[in-house]
Amino acid sequence: MNVVTFLYFQNSIHLKILITEIKIKFVVGYLRYCVLVYILFLKMKFRGFILLFFCTSHFIYSQEVLWATKVLEKSSETVDEIYSPKNRAIQILNKPNVLPQTVSSPCSWRPTGSGFGEDYIKVGFEKAIKVKQIIIGETVTPGAIGRIFGYTKDNAEILLYENRDPAPRLSGRVWNIIIPETQQEVNAIKILIVHSLNKGLKEYDAIGISNSDHPFVAKINVAANLPPNLEKENLGININSKFGEVAPIVSPDGKFLYFTRLNHPENTKDKAGKNDKILEVPQDVWVSKLSKNGAWDVASNIGEPINNSANNAAATISADGKSLFVLNVYLPNGKYVAGLSKATMKNKKWELPKQIRIVDFQALEVYDEKVKVKKTVTEYAISSDEKYLVMGLRRSETFGDKDLYVSFKSSDNTYAKPINLGHIINSAGNEGSPFLAADNKTLYFNSNGHPGYGDADIYVTTRLDDTWTNWSEPVNLGPAINSPEWDGYITIPASGEFAYFSSLKNSLGSDDIFKIKLFPSIKPEVVVMYDFQFKDKVTNKVVMPKITFESLDQLKDSTSLINWTFDEETLLNKSILNIGKKYEITATLETYGDFKSIIDLSKETKYKEIKATFEMLPLVEGQKMVLHNLFFDQGKSIIKEESFEELEKVRKMMTENPSMEILLEGHTDNQGDMFKNIRLAEDRVQAVKDYITKDGAIDPKRIAIKSWGPYKPVVRNSTEEARKKNRRVEFTITKM
């Protein structure tokens, strides 16, 4: 053995010993860590342990990945006839659009070469770092990248990697290329594609760099805290059949389920041409009602005039469940054009759908990969107050096949020019089947332009402001809802407890409708279904005042106003309100006193259905009422501050009716000295009179007072609750 060999052998031994020592220290350290965690586990609740585990796991495995933010150079890109963003070089920017799926997608860069020659792309990053890892999403035909170059801030070129490996036998991959850390910081990367290394069409989803050698793993942004045993429930034969059932729409109260049924023998029939041959219409709207036992009744065809010889489909529903928004505009000649119409139920019958007018409405054709044809596809969702219309359609400025847009309702009941919801939601792929939850913030939709499990998945996002273009990152609803097939058309009642959606997996034939219990991370915000009406305080008959309904948590402008609908059958005004807020209802009606009430939902935490009845006082001679919101301290005649609002109503009433004269009568219970009670009642009604006439606007002669003390109880003074009712000030109109 020569000296060089001996030294090499000796150094190797020392190196192995050193490595062994490092391994031992690591194992010992890890065992100490495990013992510490175990001790903490014994001292803490299981929930606290889980939190600790995830925090430490995040610390151990977190890494910074920079994704390319701009295209600096490119050799080629695939461009369609309208020069849309599909398959262009910009699709390689930012985090992966498709991965971990390895499928052909318009959300990947597709160079034009395939068999011979070379292609390249150079991309830049938001900052420069020393690189240990290059991440390339090769979604179609991997293994053709020959060389990878890095560039410093001074644009000096560094060869980072040269590929000498055979092409992998994979349809696609996340390629983690671990290299020795660069001595200089890199802020740009160039990949050179040598098509002869692996022939065929190629697509690239993303390019990233990292200062960590821990391999990046592409993940779906799936909803947090997925329940382990979550399963979807097929709604069964009362709803589903061997024919297709799609696009369910549940009424906000959860009592009616509308859906589109495909190619069913009981769909509307149509006579075709001179030979009167009967043709079945491919799709009709059907409906089912929820029975008292919680099961859905056998579905029935909704019939005319909503169903006709065209392809019919329901798109969305109003908050009161009495108006159905349906696809297409129904023309007088029996034909139709693309658009949206509104059908309203009156006297238990549907009226002919009327067009919803949308400024600059466009619905361009979309190429359907499944059937290899172009067709017009439109989908809609409306907010609970009908101020906002969300649409899935293709317009001239659409990012991809179909995007989501919003249109704001105008004062003339038309909807303004659609606004694109932006790149956080919309991709170069296909976004559609929108559903806007009752909170008007939580949006569900389906897409093939975000990482998912199948052909198209359902996602949820939250509106972050009133621009309607600022949204949270879309979250995948998880594998219990999304399958390897096409999934979409989710609908949720106002309660937010369950969701209904269409899916092919585990169906009875074609697409079926399923139900699933929602879990907290994908639930919309809690709302209250608030029904209210006004009645004459004397006759108890329903009255129809002019109503103003607004949120007190917003500036008093058009956005603070709350919309509601009037149900002609129940005579109820119906609205949906967000919890955590206060609202104010005011009402005016000729010959009645003005009305104002505060609805306080600031402390509510759960879904409720509230029915409120408000009483309005008719202004007629002889009308008597108790001033319920009038408060005094025990045994005193000083009016408490919380009474002022009630007395201001009386002042306003007398100011607006200058000929009105009233009588104020004071009453007490029978506790204590009778003469002191009579004096106390007199002092109290005098205090009320002084308040009403304090600024001289109302002549004191218009107000008479009378003290009865304990002599006119409304109930026996047998309990404290009864005595409360007897302690009162009554207000009687003596002249109008």
Residue-wise pLDDT tens digits, 234-253: 999 999 999 999 999 999 99
pLDDT of 15 above 70: no
Mean model confidence pLDDT for the chain: 87
116-126: pLDDT as tens digits: 899 999 999 99
d(Cα 205, Cα 557) in Å, to the nearest integer?
45
Please, how many CA atoms are within 13 Å of residue 262, restricted to the half-sphere of its CB? Answer: 13
pLDDT, average across residues 218-242: 94
Sign of CA dihedral 409, 413, 418, 424: positive
pLDDT of residue 307: 92
The answer to whether the peptide bond before residue 520 is cis (omega within 30 degrees of 0) is: no
**Confidence bin at 61 (pLDDT 50/70/90):** very low
187: Cβ contacts below 8 Å, ≥ 6 apart: 124, 125, 127, 128, 129, 151, 152, 153
Share of the chain above pLDDT 90, in %: 68
Answer yes or no: do 491 and 539 share one domain.
no
pLDDT, average across residues 135-143: 97
**Considering the domain boundaries, does residue 182 fall inside one?**
yes
**Confidence bin at 402 (pLDDT 50/70/90):** very high
Q: At what angle do helices 674-692 and 644-656 cross, to 10 degrees?
A: 60
pLDDT of 14 above 50: no
pLDDT of residue 195: 96
3-state class of 529 per DSSP?
strand
Answer yes or no: do 305 and 404 share one domain.
yes
pLDDT of 59 above 70: no
Answer yes or no: do 468 and 569 share one domain.
no
pLDDT of 51 above 60: no
**Considering the domain boundaries, does residue 12 fall inside one?**
no
HEC assignment per residue over 208-277: EEECCCCCCCCCCCECCCCCCCCCCEECCCCCCCCCEEEEEEECCCCCEEEEEEECCCCCCEEEECCCCE
68-95: pLDDT as tens digits: 999 999 999 999 888 899 999 999 999 9
Q: Give me the number of domains the chain comprises.
A: 5
**Considering the domain boundaries, does residue 513 fall inside one?**
yes
d(Cα 365, Cα 663) in Å, to the nearest integer?
73
pLDDT of residue 559: 63
**Considering the domain boundaries, does residue 11 fall inside one?**
no
d(Cα 34, Cα 30) in Å, to the nearest integer?
6
pLDDT of 160 above 90: yes
Apex 258 CA angle, 252 and 262, nearest 5: 155
pLDDT of residue 135: 98
Answer yes or no: do 653 and 557 share one domain.
no
d(Cα 444, Cα 466) in Å, to the nearest integer?
17
Answer yes or no: do 77 and 37 share one domain.
no
**Confidence bin at 561 (pLDDT 50/70/90):** confident
**Considering the domain boundaries, does residue 15 fall inside one?**
no
Best CA proximity match to 200, nearest among 57, 318, 104, 282: 104
Answer yes or no: do 53 and 150 share one domain.
no
Least confident of 270-284, 511-525, 548-562: 270-284
**Considering the domain boundaries, does residue 221 fall inside one?**
no
d(Cα 633, Cα 710) in Å, to the nearest integer?
18
* Higher-scoring residue by pLDDT: 53, 408: 408
pLDDT of residue 19: 40
pLDDT, average across residues 46-70: 55
- CATH code of the domain covering residue 148: 2.60.120.260
d(Cα 372, Cα 370) in Å, to the nearest integer?
6
pLDDT, average across residues 530-543: 93
Strand 336-346 to 349-350 pairing: antiparallel
729: Cβ contacts below 8 Å, ≥ 6 apart: 626, 627, 630, 664, 665, 666, 667, 684, 685, 688
Answer yes or no: do 142 and 92 share one domain.
yes
Whole-number Cα distances in Å, 437 to 440, 498, 499, 702: 6, 12, 11, 54
pLDDT of residue 26: 44
pLDDT of residue 554: 65
Answer yes or no: do 579 and 636 share one domain.
no
Q: Which of 486, 503, 522 is the last residue of a domain?
A: 522
Answer yes or no: do 570 and 654 share one domain.
no
* Higher-scoring residue by pLDDT: 724, 79: 79
pLDDT of residue 623: 86
Best CA proximity match to 531, nearest among 485, 585, 470: 585
- CATH code of the domain covering residue 311: 2.115.10.20
pLDDT, average across residues 42-54: 37
**Considering the domain boundaries, does residue 600 fall inside one?**
yes
Answer yes or no: do 180 and 102 share one domain.
yes
Q: Which of 596, 616, 636 is the last residue of a domain?
A: 616
pTM: 0.81
Residues in the chain: 736
pLDDT of residue 679: 94
**Confidence bin at 270 (pLDDT 50/70/90):** low
Domain that holds residue 399: 235-522
pLDDT of residue 74: 97
Q: What share of the chain is helix, strand, coil (3-state, %, to 5)?
A: 15, 40, 45
pLDDT of 513 above 60: yes
d(Cα 75, Cα 83) in Å, to the nearest integer?
17
Best CA proximity match to 353, nearest among 333, 320, 335, 328: 328
**Considering the domain boundaries, does residue 7 fall inside one?**
no
pLDDT of residue 420: 97
Answer yes or no: do 590 and 647 share one domain.
no
pLDDT of 53 above 90: no
pLDDT of 299 above 60: yes
pLDDT of 364 above 70: yes
pLDDT, average across residues 667-688: 93
pLDDT of residue 259: 96
Continuous segment of H or E residues that includes residue 721: helix 720-726
**Confidence bin at 348 (pLDDT 50/70/90):** confident
Answer yes or no: do 356 and 495 share one domain.
yes
161-195: pLDDT as tens digits: 999 999 999 999 999 999 999 999 999 999 999 99
pLDDT of residue 83: 85
* Higher-scoring residue by pLDDT: 561, 575: 575
